[in-house]
Amino acid sequence: MQGNADRGGRRAGGMRAAALVAATLAAGFASAEAVVAQEARTGGRLTVAADTEPRNLNPAIVASNGVFFVASKVVEPLAEMDYASGLRGVLATGWEGSADGHTITFHLREGVTWSDGTPFTSADVAFSAMQVWKPLQNLGRTIFADLEAVETPDARTAVFRFARPTPLQLIENALPVVSAVLPRHLYEGTDIAKNPLNTAPVGTGPFLFAEHRPGEFYRLARNPAYRDAGKPYLDEIVYRVLPDAASKAAALETGDIQLTAFSAVPLTDLARLDAIDGISVIPGGYEGITYHITLEINHRRAELANPLVRQALAHAIDRNFIVDVIFLGYATASTGPVPSTARDFYTADVPTYPFDPERAERLLDEAGYPRGADGTRFALRLRPAPWFQMTRATGDYVRQALQKVGIAVELVTADSGAHTAAVYTDHDFDLAIGSPVWRNDPAISTTILFQGGLPAGVPFSNQYGYDDPAMNALIAAAAAELDRDKRIALYREFQRKAETDLPIIHLVDFTFITVARDEVKGVANNPRWATSSWADTWIAR
């Protein structure tokens, strides 16, 4: 990462997660200086393992980590997360919101050009916001739903006008993910959703999209017209498609690839790889991409509509077991829907449900579900989300844990499409193991897990049959609150309400692991490193 001394200190493979998060944050703050201290070398090719091959590589339309992993080097957002300042301007240099919450004004960077030489102006921002983010983007359709117009008084200023008061804090927190700016001159007048550039993006970033051989690799090349003199340091980035996890580990050993991100190598391989000379396991650089493992609960089942039963479920599951055994320490036990790394919003002042199987049994008795003649109280069907090895393993563990307190559990497994339809459209589940993403503001993808009255078919939302007027009112109040401190207070109240009602159970928070060969420098130096621009990443000789 920032140097071998630093890495050596973080090599303990099974480091406990709490210490880990603290260490990575601290290391993150130190990183900016560390990078400057070492003489960055220009040139060379960085080869990394490709995560997926998304059908659409346009981050302005598909705001997902799989897309950002490749496209964030080519297409830039208005602002990016930063360890030191929290948020650092990229295409914007500053912004301010009006007191009434109806306008947000962005001041744009001077001297930026698209890779074809056309100057970048406020018209590109206005076009991207009104024609792409708001109508087409998976997250922007919600966040910019109230965006009425974007005015461009001059080439360096874009004024966003909202129909309803919109908290500046929400927009700021969303910027790194929702604000990838597209070149208007190449998109205007075309069918944007089907534009061929969606698979060969053009942007203002440090790299140009050079080549994609499906099933083999993506290749990005240095953008010679990039505005920061001397950057990027790398000549090329190659993303090699390696579908098999064991092959990825082998490729790191041979040097065929120099880096795997997003925990592409199984956690069980990390200790072995870390012990190899020249390869290091790097847990930081994902603080802005936190995931939860949740127990999703279908309240349409009479037993599960009973709060006592849900509390019993929470007491029956040992979160530390999941952290230690399934995540090998690379996770933290959750206390609620906001992870402890979210320093603004997080509160520990919530009801907690420590591991206590006896208490779980007492609660189940109290709820009117005593053990039957066969020792079983009732039977449930559990659908673990198939996309992470950890969600599947958590399903296995939860099954065992619940059986110990007398709840029979049948595991139902399916592939991604079937799982999504079953849980979020058909409600064909009793319990599910989910993995919602924390996107740095509760209003982006967290409150939607608790909000009532959503139509069926919205993936990763409250399809649980939980609809509480007080909760809905709290979510609505927070969404419209312009004052930063009051907004934070409301979201802390939201966390308390969530943990009191316990409609779903947040089990653990986790981020990802990077494994890299030691010659790769400038790794994990911001909280969304894998999905950032890599302009300051370089290869030592």
Provide the CA 518 distance to its chain's centre, in angstroms. 26
- Which range binds other proteins by CB under 8 A, 54-62, 105-113, 114-122, 262-270? 54-62
Does 457 engage in binding with other proteins (CB under 8 A)?
Answer: yes
Q: Which of residues 521-540 bind other proteins (CB under 8 A)?
A: none
**How many residues of this chain bind other proteins (CB under 8 A)?**
61
Sequence-separated (6 or more) residues with CB below 8 Å from residue 426 = 456
> What are the φ/ψ torsions at residue 318 (nearest 5 degrees)?
-90, 100
> What are the φ/ψ torsions at residue 491 (nearest 5 degrees)?
-75, -25
Does 64 engage in binding with other proteins (CB under 8 A)?
Answer: yes
- Give the residue with the Cβ less far from other proteins, 152 or 247: 247
Per-residue tokens: 191: 């069918």
Does 455 engage in binding with other proteins (CB under 8 A)?
Answer: yes
Q: Among 54, 89, 183, 406, which residue sits at the site for other proteins (rule: CB under 8 A)? A: 54
- Which range binds other proteins by CB under 8 A, 415-423, 467-475, 483-491, 533-541? 415-423
Write down how long the chain is: 541
Q: Among 3, 13, 44, 66, which residue sits at the site for other proteins (rule: CB under 8 A)? A: 66
255-289 burial, b for 16+ CB within 10 Å, e for fewer? eebbbbbbbbbebebbeebbeeeebbbbbbbbbbb
Does 87 engage in binding with other proteins (CB under 8 A)?
Answer: no
Per-residue tokens: 273: 């790889």
Q: Which of residues 186-205 bind other proteins (CB under 8 A)?
A: 193-194, 198-199
Per-residue tokens: 361: 């049994």
Does 75 engage in binding with other proteins (CB under 8 A)?
Answer: no
Nearest Cα to Cα of residue 512 among 20, 5, 3: 20
Q: How far is the CB of 240 from other proteins (least distance, A)?
A: 7
Q: Among 421, 477, 480, 540, which residue sits at the site for other proteins (rule: CB under 8 A)? A: 421
Provide the CA 368 distance to its chain's centre, in angstroms. 40
C-beta separation of 133 from 145 below 8 A = no
Collapsing DSSP states into helix, strand and coil, what is residue 327? coil
Does 130 engage in binding with other proteins (CB under 8 A)?
Answer: no
Does 273 engage in binding with other proteins (CB under 8 A)?
Answer: no
Per-residue tokens: 174: 């969303």
- Give the residue with the Cβ less far from other proteins, 252 or 338: 252
Return the HEC string of 341-390: CCCCCCCCCCCCCCCCHHHHHHHHHHCCCCCCCCCCCEEEEEEECCCCHH
Q: Among 6, 148, 253, 518, which residue sits at the site for other proteins (rule: CB under 8 A)? A: 253
Q: Which of residues 279-318 bind other proteins (CB under 8 A)?
A: none
- Give the residue with the Cβ less far from other proteins, 97 or 395: 395
Does 29 engage in binding with other proteins (CB under 8 A)?
Answer: no
Nearest Cα to Cα of residue 403 among 479, 471, 316, 484: 316
Does 121 engage in binding with other proteins (CB under 8 A)?
Answer: no
- Which range binds other proteins by CB under 8 A, 10-18, 297-305, 449-457, 488-496? 449-457
Nearest Cα to Cα of residue 237 among 254, 256, 222, 216: 222
Does 370 engage in binding with other proteins (CB under 8 A)?
Answer: no
- Which range binds other proteins by CB under 8 A, 312-320, 372-380, 418-426, 508-516? 418-426
Contacting positions for other proteins (CB under 8 A): 45, 47, 52, 54-56, 62-66, 138-139, 141-142, 193-194, 198-199, 213-217, 219, 236, 238, 240-244, 246-247, 250-251, 253-254, 256, 387, 414-422, 425-426, 428, 437, 445, 454-460
